[in-house]
Amino acid sequence: MLEKTVSLLWGIPTLIIMLSAGLFITIKIKASQFKAKTIFNNTVKSLFKKDNAENGINQFQAVSVALAATMGTGNIIGVASAIAIGGAGSIFWMWISAIMGMALVYAENVLSIKFRRKEHGETIGGAFAYLKYGVKNKILAIFFAVCCVLTSFGMGCMAQSNSAALSLKSLGISTNISGIVIALCVGIIILGGVKRVGHFASLLVPFLSLAYIVVSLVIILTYKEKIPAVFAAIFKGAFGFNEVTGGFSGYILAQSINVGLRRGVFSNEAGLGTSALMHKDVNSENAELQGQWGIVEIFIDTILCCTLTALVLLCTGVSGTDTSNLVIDAFSTVLGDYAKVFISVSITLFAFATLISWGYCGAGAANFLGGKKASSFYKILFAVSIFIGAVGNAAKVWLLSDIFNILMLFPNLFGIIYLSKHLKAIRKN
C-alpha cells in the first residue's frame, strides 16, 4: 500500500507540477539563478565581512544549518541509487531539478523573511509565515506544519540515524551503542536552541563538505581520461539513447527523468519549504539576500557534491545493486582499504548534521502548532526516534518519508505561486 501511494504521489503529474512551478518562478525572477557573479559577490564574498548575531544566527550559520539538512545520504547513497536505477542519464535530470529548484528556494527564502512575525517571543518564519500571513490561510499553514513534523521523524530522523548506524556497524560498532550515542549528542545540541544548532553546524558542515569534495576530486582526476565519455553517457542516457543497442528507448528515458528528478528533490529539498525554515532566525531583514543564499545552497548540494559523487561512480566504472558497497568500491579504486572508513565516517557525519538541522526544523513546526511546550516535547521525542531508527528497519520509514515529504510540496508551491507578485529579479547591490 505504501509503495503504491508513493508511486501515485511521486508520479508524472507531480513532477510536471514541480517543473512547471520552477519554470514559472524562473520566468518571474528573470532567470536570476544564472546571475552567478552577482550572487557570488552578495553571498560567498560577503562572508569575509564581520557578521555578529546578537539576535538569532548570522549568515554563515544559517547557510550551514540549511546545508546540514540537505547535505547527507542523498549526496552519496541517493546518487548511487539514481545511477543504479535510472542510469547515467538520471544525473542530467538531477541538474534540471537543481536549476528549477534554485528558483523555488529563492522564492521560499524571500517570502519567509518578508512575512516572518514574532509571536509570544518566538519567530514564525518559513512556509508557516507566508501561508498564514501572506496567503492568509491558517489551515494550509497548519497542514504544512503537521507534514513537516511527520517528515522530520521519517526522512529527517529515523532514515538518517539508520544510515549512520549501518555505516558504523560496518566498522564494527553496535547499532545499539551508535543509536544511544547519536541520540544523546543530537538531543543535547537541539535542546540548546538555535544558537547552539547554528554554532555546531557552522563548525561541522564546511569541514565535512570540503573534505568530501577534495577526496572526490582526487579520485576523478585519477580517471580524468574517462571524463569526456562519462559526460557523453550522461547526456545520451538523459534523452533515452541506449548505448548497448544504439537506439532510442522510451523506458530508459522515463526512468532517467523520474529517478533523476525524485533524487534531486530528495537531495536538495527544493520546493518543500525546508530552506526557508532554516533561514527564519537569521539576523537580517534582507529578504533578497536570503533568497540568493538559497541558490548557493542548491548549487553546492546538487550541482557540485552530487555531480562529484556521480563522476566518481561513473569514472571508476563500478557496478552492482548494493548502493552502499557501490560507493565504497568506487572510492576503493584509489583509497584502497581506507575507502570503507572514509565513506562510513562521511555518511555518519552527514547524517548527524542532517539530524541536527531537521531537529531544529521540526521543533519550529511543533512550536508553530503548540507553542514552547510542544517544541520541548518534540525535541525529546525526536531524540528517542533517533535510537528507534538506528536499531530498526528503515524500509517503511523511507516510504512514509516520501509520502509526507511530497505532501509538504503542494501547499508550499501554492503559497509561492500565489505570492509570486512579491518576487523580483536579483539586482546588483
pTM for this entry: 0.86
- Cβ proximity of 426 and 32 under 8 Å: yes
pLDDT of amino acid 48: 64
- The two beta strands, 122-124 and 117-119, are antiparallel
Q: Which domains does the chain have, with CATH numbers?
A: 2-22+57-420 (1.20.1740.10)
pLDDT of amino acid 291: 86
**Spans of the chain, pLDDT less than 70:** 47-57, 72-73, 120-121, 240-255, 258, 266-267, 320-324, 393-401, 428-429
pLDDT of amino acid 83: 82
pLDDT of amino acid 25: 92
State which H helix or E strand residue 117 sits in: strand 117-119
Query: Bridge-partner residues for 119, per DSSP?
Result: 122
pLDDT of amino acid 320: 67
Q: What are the angstrom distances between the C-alpha of 117 and each of 125, 318, 417, 423?
A: 7, 51, 21, 19
pLDDT of amino acid 55: 55
- Cβ proximity of 277 and 296 under 8 Å: no
Return the axis-axis angle of helices 395-418 and 159-169, rounded to nearest 10°: 140
Give the separation between CA 17 and CA 25, rounded to whole angstroms: 12
Express each pLDDT in 134-161 by its tens digit: 999 999 999 998 988 888 887 778 878 8
In terms of DSSP H, where are the helices of 71-192?
73, 79-86, 90-115, 126-129, 138-153, 159-169, 175-191
* Residue whose entry in the numeric block shows the C-alpha cell 557525519: 349
